[in-house]
Chains A and B, each alone.
Chain A
Amino acid sequence: MVPAARIDGEGVIKALSPRLAIILLAAALLLYPLVLSGAFYRDVGVAFLLAAISASAWNIVGGYAGQVSVGHSMFFGLGAYTPLLFYSLWGWPPIAGIPAGIALSIGLSLLIGMPTFRLTGHYFSMATIAVAELIRIFTGTWDFVGAAIGLQGPAIARGWWDLTFRSEVPYYYLFLAVLALLLAVTTFIERRRFGFYLRAIKASERAARSLGVPVRRTKMQALALSAAFTSVAGSLYVIKTGFIDPDSAFGILISVQMVIVAALGGAGTLFGPLVGALILIPLQSATNTWFGGGGSGLTYILYGGIIVLIARFEPGGLFELWQRVAPALHKLLRKRLHV
């Protein structure tokens, strides 16, 4: 009966495949707000999804294509401001501002990409920081968009279309749907020529060019797509909070969080940003709760610590760590099942 036992063992190991992991993760995300219904848990859940969406959007250009933007808050901010600007100007439901936010973000991404993608190296990163900061400072002085005070959305819903809910649950599922769409788009890209080109560009632009890869155009497309989804993340954020100011839209921490979440889980991998958000956001919420307002500076310490750890020990993020550890775990598991 040894062969039968062997087959059973293989079966168990096979069942622990990535496919099953994805199904389990999806089920957990779907059930989460129903199982853990406390206000704190729901807050964390929504914050997690928003971070996962932002970081996954950043991941397209920052992870797959290796063009590290440290100013993605500019797209997040545009996506956040436009819905509330449309509301305050014409009383439109905030959701109507989403397409305009996307269009503005794509336009801005082209403006930034055209000059900077001629160059290689860190110029792109530096340009993105500079532009995001300029926009933040400028927004703080521009009365049309509320200057330093910012803009406010509808306090009480005039109808369902305002998407203003008392409960966190509708937001949770709305965000989850957007995350699912984004991951589907990323999977689609990953398997196509475009995805191969992005990874080739990340590894060596020179070699990619010699193989006929239109490097600049491909990077521009990646940045535009990434900007569009980051803008949507900003819109979702503002539809939920109903309020925006320059710092929470264009602040550097918004950009840095995207980079760290993606790098922690594994930049340039499909689920890296999700895993990163799964670890970082609860940690952040917990420290904020434990230390109250006095702990707000802890975010910086946390981010700094994570950067140091990733750079020193695991530049590929947790995903790569898992890839190295998984075979050993499988071996161990196999041994257990056989004996």
Chain B
Amino acid sequence: MSDAGHITAAKHLLEAISVSKSFGEFHAVAGADLTVNEGDIIGLIGPNGAGKSTFFNCLAGETPPSGGRIVFDGKDLTRASPEAHARAGIGRTFQVPTTFADMSVLHNVMVGAFLRHPHRNDARDKARAVLELTGLRAEQPARSLGTPGRKRLEIARALATEPRLLLLDESLAGLTPNELQDAIGLVRRIHQSGITIVIVEHIMEVIMTLTGHVLVFNQGHVIASGTPDSVVREPAVIEAYLGRSHRRPQATDSQVDR
């Protein structure tokens, strides 16, 4: 306890401080705060157009925020490029999978692996190890994959950059119940390997089973934050997102009616 070296547990991995983003008069994100500690799995939920994706893109460096600060591992990344975010240790997936269609699955993942392994053989070894974890066949062309495979490939590609923080943008959407269970298992394994995760997701089952902490967005604001169990009981969340008919956390159909 007296040893000064042991205070690292209190250090935040990512801190977003009153981040805002406006497009002209439209305030997509109006001052959102997020603190992520090493080892967290945090969920971002909210109705479509609530600002989660914009906020997410701010965290990944793709959209420079209009205001606020983003600090990752002690470094200010507020205005840094997506490349700099990747180098710093933030990996991400996309809501609409953007795989390199003309390349094989292995080569897709190697592009990510090259970030920390400039030599081809090292990058290939790294890519193969990641593919083992994610369960994709290395030699097939990426274009032959269906949507679930592409989403999985995006996760693999991001993992190959050896991130400390992984941002998953609806990576589990559009899966069949069986595929969903597989994918949840995969996210668990990734988390157990020591990677911190922030996940945007509409499927409440994913949020309830995976995350320890949830932020609910509505109209650019964070309207609630806490454990999944406590958040789904908050009247403001039910009103804005889950719908009045919401009883069980598993219900997912009601997400669309504002």
Contact = CB atoms under 8 A, between A and B. Distances in A.
Asked if chains A and B come from one complex, the reply is yes
Contacts of B155: none
Given A192-B120, A200-B111, A207 B100 contact: yes
B87 A212 contact: yes
Given A206-B98, A212-B161, A197 B111 contact: yes
Contact of B161 (A191, A196, A197, A211): A211
B83 A215 contact: yes
A209 B63 CA distance: 13
Contacts of B112: 211-212
A214 B114 CA distance: 12
A201 to B, nearest CB: 9
Given A212-B161, A214-B83, A193 B94 contact: no
Interface stretch (B23-31, B102-110, B196-204, B231-239): B102-110
A147 B120 CA distance: 50
A203 B114 contact: no
Interface residues of A, number: 21
B120 A211 contact: no
A199 B99 CA distance: 11
Given A193-B120, A196-B110, A200-B111, A211 B158 contact: yes
Contact of B100 (A192, A193, A199): A199
A12 B111 CA distance: 36
B60 interface: yes
A47 B203 CA distance: 62
B100 A210 contact: no
A131 B66 CA distance: 36
Contacts, number: 76
Interface string A35-70: 000000000000000000000000000000000000
A17 interface: no
Given A206-B94, A210-B92, A211-B112, A191 B120 contact: yes
Interface string A209-234: 11111110000000000000000000
Nearest to B160: A211
B221 interface: no
B82 interface: yes
A205 to B, nearest CB: 10
A213 B111 contact: yes
A208 B161 CA distance: 11
B190 interface: no
A210 B99 contact: no
Interface in B74-93: 81-83, 85-87, 91-92
Interface of A: 191-193, 196-197, 199-200, 202-204, 206-215, 268
